Structure 1
Amino acid sequence: MSSNAPSDAADARRRVTELVREARICMLTTTAVDGRMVSRPMALQEAEFDGDLWFFAYADSAKVRQIRVNPEVNVSFSDQRHNAWVSVSGTARESFDRAKAEQLWNPLLKTWFPDGLDTPGLTLLTVRAGSAEYWDSPNSAVVNLLGFAKAAVTGRPPEGGENHEVSY
């Protein structure tokens, strides 16, 4: 994939925002007390990515306990429909702000938090991005597969789309 810089950092940040918004489901990776990396699926609550990612969680969950010890996390998004991927590295923190929770709440969350915003132990996780990297391929999976096959025959890397790093 190309590592050419986009026209400017603002364009790259806008593209990260678009890709995050489209994917919405991610894998949040934390560090366990024994040093293992642990990932679990999470649903992003705020589609307007301004450098902060928001999630609901239980305050007594393993992920929250891990963040209290080591707040450095990674959040990865995969959008197979659009052949795009985003990796966001940042610092997480736990807090509960009722007004922010009301702003972010979605009725579908009752599946995990049956009492809604009054669910005992409900908290918010905020991940403040330090950097992000994205891979964006405008081609379909079939076109990408053909490109990989061609690369195997010719020995030249396939045309893979865009790959950019973004700092926040």
Structure 2
Amino acid sequence: MINAEKTIGNLIDKVSISFISSIDDEGFPNMKAMLPPRKREGIKDIYFTTNTSSMRVSQYKENPKASVYFCDKRFFRGVMLKGTMEVLEDSETKEMIWNEGDKIYYPLGVTDRDYCVLKFTAHKGRFYSNFKSENFDVQ
């Protein structure tokens, strides 16, 4: 059994691209490439930034089931985490993960109505490495 918190935490911290998925109104998964997470608390709570007006936000508000995928292409290993995604628009959370460079995407700054935070909470995971996959629960 892997030390999920350490091994997967290190993998997440090194990625340059993250993949998130949501469920559309026909019940199909929708995948999207994203910038790396802005913040994480262990591997249970992972925070991303996005546009409030995005299709993904409306899908998460309708159905919070989600998965995220992180891949280390150098060592050909990856992890899928399954859980739920919350759309957070409160100023405390938005300020917590705001970076000045975000003005490129949100010209009105941290109070921009089109800026929100996605908080993913993992419940289960599946780690792939060395030609093997392993399921695990996220505590």
Name the TM-score class by shorter chain. Answer: 0.7 to 0.9
Q: Partners in 2 of 1:115 and 1:59 — Cα distance?
A: 13
Larger CA Rg, structure 1 vs 2? 1
Mapped pair 1:127 → 2:120: yes
User: Counterpart of 2:107?
Assistant: 114
* 1:63 aligned counterpart, secondary structure: helix
Give percent identity, aligned residues only: 21
TM-score (norm 2): 0.85
Q: How many residues align?
A: 137
TM-score, normalised by the number of residues in structure 1 = 0.72
Query: In the alignment, which residue of structure 1 is the partner of 2:134?
Result: 164
User: CA RMSD, aligned part only?
Assistant: 1.9
Pair 21,33 (structure 1): closer, same or farther in 2 beyond 3 Å: same
Structure 2: state its 5+ residue gaps. Answer: none
Q: Which residue of 2 aligns with 1:75?
A: 68
Q: Alpha-carbon deviation of 1:98?
A: 2.0
Deviation of 1:47 after TM superposition, in Å, equals 4.5
4+ residue stretches of structure 1 with deviation over 3 A? 47-50
* Residue 85, structure 1, aligned to residue 78, structure 2: yes
Structure holding more strand per residue: 2
**Any unmatched runs of 5+ in structure 1?**
138-159
Q: Deviations over 1:93-140 (max 9, x none)?
A: 112232332221223333322222122232111110011112234xxx
Alpha-carbon contact 1:77-1:85 (below 8 Å) kept: yes
